[in-house]
Amino acid sequence: MSASSNPTLADHNCRQFVLFRVLFNARFYYPVLAILFLDLGLSATEYTLLNFAWALVIVVAEVPSGALADRIGRRPLVIAAGACMVAEMLVLGAAPQNGGLLLFLFCLLNRILSGLAEALASGADESLAFDALASEGRRDEWPAVLARVMRWQSAGTVVAMLVGSAIYDPHLLNRLAAAAGFGFRFELAATLRFPIYLNLITALAVLLVSLSMREPSRHDAPALPAAYPVWHSVLEAGAWIIRTPLALFVIIGGLLIDSVIRLFLTFGSAYFRLIDLPEASYGFIGAGMAGIGMVISPLARRLVQGGSVARCYGILALLTWLGLLGIALNIPFWGAVFALPLAAIIAAVGFAVSHYLNVIVDAHHRATVLSFKGLAFNLGYGFISLLFALALRASRDSGRATEGLADALALLPLWFAGTMLLLGLLFWRHRAVLRRWY
């Protein structure tokens, strides 16, 4: 960052970008995400289908929102994302427990608003920061900004994981209340909403941060004619990605790694319950997973700046496969150890994809290209979520409901190995480009 005593627009936007990402992603209900929906009264299949709906919303809204950000500016989209986050938490807080169809509809609306918030923010938030740096000739500082985001986002997530799991557990709260001399008792019906209410407060903070961000001028982007259709920008950005093997590989490789890890993380609390871990420990595990980001940020920076794209992705893919293999073993208690590297890898993948794409894309289509990345990532996540739901349903129908999650998790390392092998074959003739250093 600039050493000047008078902060520039780039300094301001980069600070607000870091704060936005920290608050937007530090969700207090994440350590209990799966069991929260299950304890509300949904089945595992319904929960998985809701995640598919969440990804589908992002698929529909991702690229149009990116093109709109390139046309009218990034700031309005970031503000709209903050407003949607506030709305999604209000809806989830009002969802009726064991409400049958009504519960499902409330949760569906929550997932729709959540997906819309993700789509609106995707690309627009980092474009505000990167464009401000570019306008001041400070593009080379972007990896340092990404490292700050990873470090502080990890710290925020550690707090969210510890606090979120603690206030969800009625047994822990009752012990604390008794030790403090209070006579009242907490029930799960009440405590399961505590992380939601706390997240509503951070959602309001996200909205305030988004309002404080400012739109930079983009001197390196040619002006578009007033009548130039937004969809032309979408088609141009999509065609550029298809014609650029490096961009295509970065996006596809990233989505294959991200989708399978993200699927596991959405079932993280259910997996921890499967391997006989107490609910009070979920927050500590989640905090450990988030805390790895503080350690991994300088390593991720060196990984993307100190070698080729192929080398970077090869290392990340191998570590992902080993982690998934360990998860599939369902080792009681100690199985949680394999979740730790997966959390580090998904953070490193996000770092690598953002670095490579921002380096090679022009400012004129930056938000649209980043939205295509978000679209691809969520298509991959939605598709694997649908396959996972089918695997869970097949296990239930075969009369092995208690083993359904374990059976489905065992398929993940096989799926990942197959898809990464196919990726290597598809891009084999472009290996010279992928072996360059960026």
Helical H segments across 26-74, by residue range: 33-40, 44-72
Could you tell me the CA-to-CA distances from 143 to 107, 147, 211, 305, 351 in Å, in that order? 37, 6, 25, 9, 8
Residue 13 inside a domain? The answer is yes
pLDDT at 223: 46
pLDDT for 404 beyond 80: no
**Which tens digits make up the pLDDT trace of 337-374?**
888 888 889 888 988 888 888 878 876 677 778 778 87
pLDDT at 251: 93
Q: Which residues pair with 308 in a beta bridge?
A: 437
Residue 4 inside a domain? The answer is no
pLDDT at 438: 62
pLDDT at 209: 95
Taking residues 186-192, report their average pLDDT.
83
Contact 150, 300 (CB under 8 A): yes
Q: What percent of the chain has pLDDT over 70?
A: 90
What is the crossing angle of helices 170-179 and 142-168, to 10°? 70
**Which tens digits make up the pLDDT trace of 68-108?**
777 778 899 999 999 999 999 999 999 999 888 999 999 99
pLDDT at 218: 57
Q: Give the domain extent around 256.
A: 9-217+230-434
pLDDT for 281 beyond 50: yes
Instruction: For residue 259, give the nearest of 381, 385, 415 by alpha carbon.
Output: 381
The angle at the Cα of 335, spanning 318 to 157, to the nearest 5 degrees, equals: 80
Residue 1 inside a domain? The answer is no
pLDDT for 250 beyond 60: yes
Through-space distance between the first and last CA atoms of the chain, rounded to whole angstroms: 21
pLDDT at 415: 92
Label each residue of 265-304 as H, E or C.
Answer: HHCHHHHHHHCCCCHHHHHHHHHHHHHHHHHHHHHHHHHH
Highest mean pLDDT among 62-71, 133-142, 309-318, 353-362: 309-318
pLDDT for 169 beyond 90: no
pLDDT for 305 beyond 80: no
Residue 345 inside a domain? The answer is yes
In the numeric block, the tokens 């998790």 are attached to: 409
- Lowest-confidence range among 113-117, 178-182, 426-430? 178-182
Could you tell me the CA-to-CA distances from 131 to 10, 69, 117, 218, 258 in Å, in that order? 8, 12, 21, 6, 26
> Residue 372 is encoded by which pair of tokens?
């295509």
User: How far is it, in rounded angstroms, from Cα 66 to Cα 239?
Assistant: 15
pLDDT at 259: 92
User: How far is it, in rounded angstroms, from Cα 357 to Cα 240?
Assistant: 12
CATH code of the domain covering residue 348: 1.20.1250.20
pLDDT at 363: 66
pLDDT at 206: 95
Instruction: For residue 48, give the nearest of 413, 388, 377, 383 by alpha carbon.
Output: 388
pLDDT for 270 beyond 70: yes
231 — pLDDT class (breaks 50, 70, 90): low
Structural domains in the chain (count):
1
pLDDT at 5: 47
Instruction: For residue 252, give the nearest of 359, 126, 158, 349 by alpha carbon.
Output: 349
Residue 2 inside a domain? The answer is no
More confident residue, 191 or 282: 191
**Which tens digits make up the pLDDT trace of 9-66?**
888 989 999 999 999 988 898 878 878 888 898 887 888 788 888 878 887 887 778 7
Name the DSSP letter for residue 306.
S
pLDDT for 401 beyond 70: no
User: How far is it, in rounded angstroms, from Cα 121 to Cα 78?
Assistant: 5
Taking residues 427-435, report their average pLDDT.
83
- The DSSP secondary structure of 178-217, one letter per residue, reads HHTT------HHHHTTHHHHHHHHHHHHHHHHHHH--PPP
The angle at the Cα of 78, spanning 134 to 120, to the nearest 5 degrees, equals: 105
Residue 329 inside a domain? The answer is yes
Contact 303, 356 (CB under 8 A): no
More confident residue, 157 or 395: 157
pLDDT at 1: 47
pLDDT for 395 beyond 80: no
Residue 158 inside a domain? The answer is yes
420 — pLDDT class (breaks 50, 70, 90): very high
222 — pLDDT class (breaks 50, 70, 90): very low
Residue 3 inside a domain? The answer is no
313 — pLDDT class (breaks 50, 70, 90): very high
